[in-house]
Structure 1
Amino acid sequence: MLSSTLFAWFFASSVGAYWLPEDPNSGLQKTCVIPKSNGDDSPGIMSAVAACGSNSQVVFSSGVTYNLDTPLQFSNLNNVEFVFNGNLSLPDNVTAVEAVVQNTHVYPGHWITVSSSTGVTFTGSKDSSGGWFIGHGDLWWPNVNDSDNDYRPHFFSFKVTSLRLRGVKILKPVAWVFSLGGEDVYMTDTVLDARSDDGFAFNTVLDGIDCSASNVVIDGWTSWNGDDVINVAPPAVNVTMRNVVAYGTHGISVSCSSGSGGDYLFENTIIYNSLIGARFKGVLGTTCNMYNITWRNFVIVNVSYPIHFIENYVDQEVGPPPNANLSLAAYASGFTWENIVGATSPSLEDGSCISDPCWSYTTGQSPEKALYVLCKDADHCKDFQFVNLNLAGADGKPGQMDCTGLEGVTGMGLTCTNGTVVMT
């Protein structure tokens, strides 16, 4: 059990004031209110945004739910703020949505797409009943084959320079939520609620954020979802995520199978009742270069794998790729895990495990192990630092570790062994 003293330590260590950028939408010259139709509101929204033009504010009225029966696509926007006082809803008809997703002429890969634009802001409502993007995912999740359904809608795609997402709220999305590209991104006070009436959406792929953007700050995030809170991957550079509370997640994650990326900071995070906490995965048979990545000030409660680093990741449900080049692995340097309090779960599975072995199965796994550092060798894992870790197994005893590839390496803050985690 984690004591109240440890929680107090976490909150004391995570207090800080953070600077947020200037509003890129200063000097807006025109305000346009989106009209409500009797059917699909998407065509009217597209027309209104086009007519409003650059240097404008587009307002969705309070107390109104706009029906997005077809996807929204915006490009070449310049200095436009969308103000979501009302709600926006995908269709509550699974068959109708699947038909749209299959039609590549109207569905570009996400239901809401903003591309080739500069100075775009999405501002949510502070009213708890307004400003929601509603996905009706609970109509999809009960299907045991949902994770294999190629016609699930992804929600948002942004490829924008100077993007601001403020107070955006998502309710029951069907699958992946945010795809972030571009650069100069600030995302604040986001809520992602994928709870169903009988628990989380564990039987579907439901990443909160997939980030390939650079110069990103995500500050303030609360989520209930059945997959990664965030997955950052090359070519992303200079990404910070902080002040996070997450339930039912597969981790604050970094992954790679090619390319290079780095200067990532994840801090001030509490993860409850989840499968994975602080996570890195390099895909088996591939190589990449990742550098200067830090997870710090984490409290991880009842989580199967509190800290999990692996360079030969394979989805055990699918199996290894054929003819994989096993001589390849990620090159990871300057990785740090600092001020992490964690306790493992008695179970090493969650509802996403629909195969035997589970997709997340790790050789040598145990509910008593709280730290997995699985490197190919010391050449592929350089300058690793472990600082002030306080980890416990599900049995309440000091947490065990599973470490390979770094045997005999000194100066890391602990000794690579298959035994109790002891800071040096």
Structure 2
Amino acid sequence: MPLETSSVDAATCVVAKSSSDDSITIAKAFNDCKNGGTVSFPKGNTYYMKSVLKIEGLKGVTVNFNGQIVLPAFNKSFKGGNAYISIKGDHINFTGGGTINGNGQTWWDIKDTTAPTVLRIGATNSDFGNFNILNSPRAHMGMTNSDNVVLHNVFLKTVSANSNLPKNTDALDISSSKNIIFKDSNLFVGDDCTAINGGVSNVTISNVHCTGGHGFRYIPFL
């Protein structure tokens, strides 16, 4: 019988595999453990998303992201979308060393720069660290409406296998946020290393090494 639900044990939700779309079981695990629980992506497990994932209302959640998520290949239904994975909540601890593979080559080869951001964070009093994003189709990470968030030990590598180069692949876009720390990370990207947009205050960036990018930019509202 296909696994379609998360396994819940003592407020720990292990993300199961789905017979159709792993976005379904990822969403269920977060919903089951969104109040003080732990969501676990076991090492060695690969999850194939076929739809966007909106995770909201998390409170005191630990995410042990030890597996791999593979985003869908180019599909016109994703054009202009906000994010493939959106995580919102308070007191989130996201860690584990796992990897999100953005499947970006399928976008670069047709020269389409309208893909969603891979991971968008809207969090307060939270820590996101020790994870990787590879081959992002456009921006790797976005942070919006966040306060008191530390982002650290992130490894990004977006490199084309041919002459169709990645475009608009910002490492991190920050908007409408305050008290943000981004540190101790290595970035290989094709656009801004960090873009600080309007409505942002008190951002600290330290020990972030960026290769192939356009630098760190402040882009205020006009």
Q: TM-score, normalised by structure 2?
A: 0.88
Which of 79, 85, 91 lines up with 1:112 in the alignment?
85
Q: State the 1:257 CA deviation.
A: 2.8
Distance of aligned partners of 1:53 and 1:255 in 2 relative to their CA distance in 1, 3 Å threshold: closer
Distance (Å, rounded) in 2 between the aligned partners of 1:179 and 1:242: 18
Amino acid at match of 1:146: D
Give 1:222's aligned residue: 186
Distance of aligned partners of 1:167 and 1:197 in 2 relative to their CA distance in 1, 3 Å threshold: same
1:111–1:154 CA contact under 8 A, matched in 2: yes
- Structure 2 gap ranges (5+): 1-9
Distance (Å, rounded) in 2 between the aligned partners of 1:31 and 1:236: 35
Distance (Å, rounded) in 2 between the aligned partners of 1:140 and 1:53: 33
Which of 139, 162, 173 lines up with 2:106 in the alignment?
139
* Structure 1 residues 238-387: aligned runs within 5 Å: 238-258=202-222
1:201–1:225 CA contact under 8 A, matched in 2: no
Distance (Å, rounded) in 2 between the aligned partners of 1:77 and 1:170: 22
Give 1:176's aligned residue: 139
Give 2:127's aligned residue: 164
Distance of aligned partners of 1:200 and 1:120 in 2 relative to their CA distance in 1, 3 Å threshold: farther
2:190–2:213 CA contact under 8 A, matched in 1: yes
Distance (Å, rounded) in 2 between the aligned partners of 1:49 and 1:211: 24
1:200–1:225 CA contact under 8 A, matched in 2: no
Amino acid at match of 1:233: N
Give 2:21's aligned residue: 40
Q: State the 1:199 CA deviation.
A: 7.0
1:194–1:201 CA contact under 8 A, matched in 2: no
Amino acid at match of 1:44: T
Q: Deviations over 1:226-271 (max 9, x none)?
A: 100101122111101111221111111111133xxxxxxxxxxxxx
* Structure 1 residues 65-214: aligned runs within 5 Å: 65-92=46-73, 94-95=74-75, 98-101=76-79, 109-115=82-88, 117-125=89-97, 131-143=98-110, 145-147=111-113, 150=114, 152-181=115-144, 182-198=146-162, 201-202=165-166, 204-212=167-175, 213-214=177-178
Give 2:6's aligned residue: none
Q: State the 1:218 CA deviation.
A: 0.8
2:33 aligned with 1:56, yes or no? no
Give 1:10's aligned residue: none
Q: State the 1:200 CA deviation.
A: 8.4
Q: TM-score, normalised by structure 1?
A: 0.47
Amino acid at match of 1:30: A
Count of residue pairs the alignment pairs up: 211
Distance (Å, rounded) in 2 between the aligned partners of 1:239 and 1:199: 35
Amino acid at match of 2:171: G
Distance of aligned partners of 1:200 and 1:215 in 2 relative to their CA distance in 1, 3 Å threshold: farther
Identical pairs, percent: 27
Distance (Å, rounded) in 2 between the aligned partners of 1:205 and 1:87: 24
2:109–2:164 CA contact under 8 A, matched in 1: no
Q: CA RMSD in A?
A: 1.8
1:110–1:153 CA contact under 8 A, matched in 2: yes
2:199 aligned with 1:235, yes or no? yes
Q: Give SS of 2:108's match.
A: coil
1:180–1:209 CA contact under 8 A, matched in 2: yes
Amino acid at match of 1:172: N
1:124–1:169 CA contact under 8 A, matched in 2: no
Runs of 4+ in structure 1 displaced over 4 angstroms? none
Q: Deviations over 1:299-351 (max 9, x none)?
A: xxxxxxxxxxxxxxxxxxxxxxxxxxxxxxxxxxxxxxxxxxxxxxxxxxxxx
Q: Give SS of 1:36's match.
A: coil
2:33–2:61 CA contact under 8 A, matched in 1: no
Using CA pairs under 8 Å that are at least 6 residues apart, name the structure with larger relative contact order, 1 or 2: 2
Q: State the 1:183 CA deviation.
A: 0.4
Q: State the 1:101 CA deviation.
A: 4.1
